[in-house]
Structure 1
């Protein structure tokens, strides 16, 4: 791992500021000053000291979070809108969300400090499925839904197809649809509903890859269980070894 990346992962500073510390001669590895920005650290063997303090990689942690409606999936907003940072501040470790949900959407987010796992889950070539419940009016045209399932719809210049798009129940005046997508295009589900001439009243993510929302309540955060961790790591391992990688678009915000 490159030294600046290692220092950033340890929470010392951003990569750019870490480079400044290295140049200033404030970083020692195994007792020797290191000013080479390309230096590679072995986290298991090397002792790294910054400004007289030994630093090491934090333990990797994984949480499930129910993002409530009305919060940005961000740790900072220049316009001072409410973000999920207020919920994450309660945790003992610094974590970040894997992917995004837009301000008016709610539901499941994975929180972690494991950057490698996050990058893999979000990489377009792995096409990790996201599953939603969507409250819509009026009832959508079934013929047009079936056509979209077969032929796809053009979103941001790319033809994409939902894996699932089906009516599961009615709730008051709303029609509730189950939608599963894997492209990760920004506001993908909302754009599909708009294409079908519907209006979204509520959008809830209930599953991301092997992880499911289950009985979490808005604003709640909990660590993954041992069984969930095993399922997640097994899923990631299968992605890495898969010989047939689906093609998809980058981005997110649904």
Structure 2
């Protein structure tokens, strides 16, 4: 069945559709021996010889995979680490080694992380305009005042730009006369700047002691154990990526 070339490349996991368009325009794709440099070309991967950088595209497109992982601390959210640290792929069996993480949780943070081999799905979730909500449970040093909580809710300036309003609720407070008190917050963000929660907390005078992401949109970890993973259901994928359906 014929389809647009960029859609075929995306379906085969070469790149997202937007990235595939740039690959085509750069003259890196050939169909039946002819280099393609314009968008709009259609082809049939079962009948046409499609090459990317001289490498033949396989006839059958790989199955798209969508996983939810409960990432432990001490694991990096990348497919490979130059420092030799354990990556999220090290927690997966061989049949899932073609996926990659959607966004990141830093080395010292834990919790919900989605992995996929669907570039369009990944780009949709990461694009700022879609405001995919993420829910965190965070332990802070000290006892933030109501004024501090309100500041966080309304937004503070990071890198010259105000953060979007956030939902911030106190879950519990621990006081110990022999140690510094700490506070656990539930924080729901609709944006994802680099290390945003840690940077805001530091700026407000209450550094993060532990950070755990419990949900992405309405997809919650629930009883998923640390270091474990599961496949997302069709309904969950539809919730996260409605334009696919």
Q: TM-score range by the shorter chain?
A: 0.7 to 0.9
CA deviation profile, 1:89-122 (whole Å, cap 9, x unmatched) = 5434611111111111110011111111111111
Residue 12 of structure 2 is aligned with which of 10, 13, 19? Answer: 10
Please identify runs of 4+ aligned residues in structure 1 that moved more than 6 A: 12-21
1:47 partnered with 2:55: no
Report the equivalent of 1:245: none
Structure 2 counterpart of 1:218 = 226
Contact residue 139 and residue 208 of structure 2 kept, 8 A:
yes
Name the SS for the 2:35 alignment partner. Answer: coil
Contact residue 13 and residue 118 of structure 2 kept, 8 A: no
**Consecutive unaligned residues in structure 2, runs of 5 or more:** 176-180
Distance 1:48 1:94, change over 3 A: farther
Distance 1:91 1:210, change over 3 A: farther
**Aligned pair count?**
228
Is residue 66 from structure 1 mapped to residue 70 from structure 2 by the alignment? yes
Instruction: Measure how far apart 1:219 and its partner are.
Output: 1.2
Equivalent position SS for 2:187 = strand
1:16-70 Cα deviation digits (max 9, x unpaired): 9998985xxxx65xxx333324475657675344677842321212111111101
CA distance in 2, matches of 1:7, 1:205: 33
1:180 alignment counterpart: 188
* 1:145-160 equivalences in 2 (<5 Å): 145-150=149-154, 152-160=155-163
Which position in structure 1 is the counterpart of 2:140?
136
Shift of 1:177: 0.5
> Displacement, 1:231?
3.8
Distance in 2 of aligned mates of 1:48 and 1:93: 28
Q: Which residue of 2 aligns with 1:87?
A: 91
| Secondary structure, aligned partner of 1:194 | helix
* Residues 154 and 160, structure 1, Cα contact 8 Å, conserved in 2: yes
Tell me the TM-score normalized by structure 1: 0.75
CA contact (8 A) 2:13 2:119 kept: no
Task: Check conservation: 2:10, 2:120, Cα contact below 8 A.
Answer: no
Q: Which residue of 2 aligns with 1:36?
A: 36
CA displacement, residues 139-186 of structure 1 (integer Å, 9 cap, x when unaligned): 112222113323x20012110144211111135753210011112111
Deviations 1:206-250 (A, max 9, x none): 11122111111121111113xxx314314532x79xxxxxxxxxx
CA contact (8 A) 1:64 1:111 kept: yes
Match of 2:178? Answer: none
The residue number in structure 2 matching 1:232 is 237
Aligned to 1:250: none
Supply the distance in 2 between the matched residues of 1:72 and 1:174 (Cα, whole angstroms).
Answer: 26
